[in-house]
Amino acid sequence: MGEFDLIARHFAPLAGPGARGLKDDVAERAGEVITKDVLVEGVHFLPTDPIDLVARKALRANMSDVIAKGAQPTSYLLGLVCPKALGPEAIATFAAGLKVEHDLFGLSLLGGDTTAGPVLMISITMFGKPGPRGVIGRDGAQAGDAIMVTGSIGDGLLGLEAARANPPADDPAALPYRVPNISWSVHEVIAQYAKGSLDVSDGLVADAGHLAKTSGVGIQIKADSVPLSPWGYEARAAGRLAELLTGGDDYQALFTIDPSDIDHVQSRALKELRVTRIGTVTSDLMPGQVQVIAEDGRETPIRIAGWDHFGSS
């Protein structure tokens, strides 16, 4: 049973006001958005990843959810589970990693809990201030919308490979896995223009599927329009496009807008960040269906596996 089925079956009946039926990545409370992402050693980061970068990744994984809802991350609670072998220097380095993100993004720590455990685990609860239209959910995509994505896709996967192959900290190809290159300032663009939105953390195709399913629409992605990094172009030339489109840990925003807003979004966004149109929302497909079209106009068969921590298929 996958994570989404588990949540739907057992936890959704427990959800209260503000929980959005557990169908989104955030809750709403007292005019704020709240998200909670847990990162576990060996699952979301490698034991060899530098601990200051692990701290930064934990904050960015949560900021990514907040940003994709058109909200500005403000503050957070930290639950830290540490192996006893981890010394005070490691804790100091971890805190220094948090401080880097505080200085970059104006975050502050609200409180939390530290305890011992078998592996390093970081549980963040992050608060954000939504824009004037409130939370931009997964449920707002409509047929005819343009599908936009920030940054580049596939670098999380390639970064994981680099981090595994070459654990020392200074491999630049590993950095997008260790410190996801979130597109912080897109939260204002999303707040103003987006109709449906979420972050890409399970893989582009899987997350497009979540958007499509919750909005009750189909999504068509043009494979050759998906933005890639130099590493991504190399991997694509090696025939690995399908892997890039389904790999996890990208932490980019995926959102839909009215096609008449594309120029506004891009002229505003291009100054500070990369926003690319990669496809169209359509009613010609089954609700929840994602179709990836190759350069030659034919459908690329892609198994929507994505990054499902409970996946058994």
Residue 72 interacts with a second copy (CB under 8 A)? no
Question: Which residue from 8, 46, 91, 242 is in contact with a second copy, where contact means CB under 8 A?
Answer: 91
Distance of alpha carbon 230 from alpha carbon 228, whole angstroms = 7
Instruction: Identify the CA nearest to 79 among candidates 27, 23, 120, 138.
Output: 120
Alpha carbon of 113 to those of 27, 81, 94, 122, 125: distances in Å?
21, 8, 15, 10, 12
Question: Which residue from 112, 134, 167, 227 is in contact with a second copy, where contact means CB under 8 A?
Answer: 112
Minimum distance, C-beta of residue 74 to a second copy, in the bound complex (Å): 9
Query: Alpha-carbon Rg of the chain, whole angstroms?
Result: 19
Minimum distance, C-beta of residue 161 to a second copy, in the bound complex (Å): 20
Q: How many Cα atoms are found within 13 Å in the side-chain-facing hemisphere of 99?
A: 6
Question: Which residue from 164, 259, 284, 310 is in contact with a second copy, where contact means CB under 8 A?
Answer: 310
Neighbours of 85 (CB within 10 A): 6
Write the CB contacts of 130 (distance below 8 Å, at least 6 apart in sequence): 28, 31, 32, 33, 69, 70, 71, 191
Question: Judged by CB under 8 A, how many residues of this single chain contact a second copy?
Answer: 67
Binding positions for a second copy, 134-173, rule CB under 8 A: none
CB under 8 A: which stretch of 100-108, 171-179, 241-249, 295-303 binds a second copy? 100-108
Binding positions for a second copy, 197-256, rule CB under 8 A: none
Placement of tokens 């409130």 in the chain: 134
Question: Which residue from 104, 110, 165, 286 is in contact with a second copy, where contact means CB under 8 A?
Answer: 110
Distance of alpha carbon 7 from alpha carbon 3, whole angstroms = 6
CB under 8 A: which stretch of 109-117, 180-188, 262-270, 295-303 binds a second copy? 109-117
Residue 259 interacts with a second copy (CB under 8 A)? no
Placement of tokens 């576990």 in the chain: 40
Minimum distance, C-beta of residue 213 to a second copy, in the bound complex (Å): 18
Question: Which residue from 58, 71, 121, 204 is in contact with a second copy, where contact means CB under 8 A?
Answer: 121
Residue 100 interacts with a second copy (CB under 8 A)? no
Residue nearer to a second copy on the CB measure, 29 or 164: 29
Q: Which residues of 202-224 are buried (b: 16+ CB within 10 A; e: fewer)?
A: bbbbbbbbbbbbbbebbbbbbbe
Residue 79 interacts with a second copy (CB under 8 A)? yes
Helix or strand run (H / E) with residue 199: strand 197-200
Is the separation of the CB atoms in 228 and 279 below 8 Å? no
Residues that bind a second copy (CB under 8 A): 1, 3, 6-7, 9-11, 13-20, 22, 24, 26-27, 29-32, 34-38, 40, 42-44, 75, 77-82, 84, 88, 91-92, 94-95, 98-99, 102, 107-119, 121, 123, 125, 127, 309-310
